[in-house]
Amino acid sequence: MSIAENIAKIRAQMNEAAIAAGREPKEILLCAATKMNDADAVRAAIAGGVDVCGENRVQELTQKLSQHAYDGAPVHFIGHLQTNKVKQVVGKVDLIQSVDSLRLLEAIQKEAQRQNIRQDILLEVNIGQEESKSGFHAEEILPLVKEFSKYPNICLRGLMAIPPISQNSGDNRKFFEKMCSLTVDITTKNVDNICVDILSMGMSDDFADAIACGSTMVRIGTAIFGQRHYA
Ligand SMILES: *Cc1c(COP(=O)(O)O)cnc(C)c1O
């Protein structure tokens, strides 16, 4: 199947999951996880109707930006970002989804201030409390959000999570539900610099469950582009 056909199929499945959950299909955005796919594949995904492109690696982002691969769609950063590379990402992407430490948050604030811009971000939550993963623990989120006025050049738009790899379909629902209630908690707080309207969760294998639990953005790689070939 072509990239466009894959996207049409995913859209149909997204719509079905939304309607089954009593939600409006248009509330949920489709982000193409474009890592290891070249500029032409990215262009095909945009032509096929994805809402957003999400890039994982700074080097790929920089290269595809220079190739104008993302023209016609917003681009998000969704991978682990080292603090020494924030200059190559801040101001270059519409949203940094993967802010996974205080150190990174501070580095982004500093760089956004230097550029005199306001950078939109999501906080990444290590919702499965996995040692191998970065991200904030769920209980760190509320206290951090309450202090968000410390980051005047950052706008917090919501939360992102990559739950543990699951054995059985449905296994991750408990994590998705936890993410949703955490989002509700921070939405009801009246704090400067926050405008929470995004909950980014759900990938190729579990996006329907994520939508059932309140996701507003699914990030899909394999189901759009096929298997990635790691060298
Ligand atoms: C690769 C990636 C995805 C997409 O994963 P698939 O299982 O290929 O759909 C989503 N989110 C992040 C952060 C990724 O790195």
Secondary structure class of 46 (helix, strand, coil): helix
How many other CB atoms are found less than 10 A from the CB of residue 215? 31
Cα(106) to ligand 1 centroid in Å equals 26
For ligand 1, mutation pick of 179, 203, 220 (most atoms within 8 Å of CB): 203
CB of 33 sitting under 6 A from ligand 1: yes
Q: ∠ CA(133), CA(221), CA(107), 5° rounding?
A: 45
**Cα(116)–Cα(108) distance, rounded to whole angstroms?**
12
Exposed e or buried b for every residue in 126-142, given b needs 16+ CB within 10 A?
A: bbbeeeebebbebeebe
Cα(119) to ligand 1 centroid in Å equals 23
Residues 42-67 have pLDDT tens digits of 999 999 999 999 999 999 999 999 99
Q: Which residues of the chain have pLDDT under 70?
A: 231
The Cβ-side half-sphere exposure at 102, using a 13 Å CA radius, reads 9
Retrieve residue 203's tokens.
Answer: 């990938």
Q: ∠ CA(53), CA(39), CA(162), 5° rounding?
A: 35
Cα(18) to ligand 1 centroid in Å equals 20
CB of 163 sitting under 6 A from ligand 1: no
Cα(150) to ligand 1 centroid in Å equals 31
Task: Give, using CA atoms, the residue closest to atom 13 of ligand 1.
Answer: 78
CB of 162 sitting under 6 A from ligand 1: yes
CB of 187 sitting under 6 A from ligand 1: no
Residue 224 CA: nearest ligand 1 atom is 9
pLDDT at 170: 85
Task: Give, using CA atoms, the residue closest to atom 11 of ligand 1.
Answer: 219
Task: Give, using CA atoms, the residue closest to atom 7 of ligand 1.
Answer: 204
pTM as predicted: 0.97
Residues sharing a CB contact under 8 Å with residue 228, sequence separation 6 or more, in sequence order? 35, 36, 37, 221, 222
The enclosing H or E element of 98 equals strand 95-99
pLDDT at 229: 76
**Cα(151)–Cα(167) distance, rounded to whole angstroms?**
39
pLDDT at 231: 62
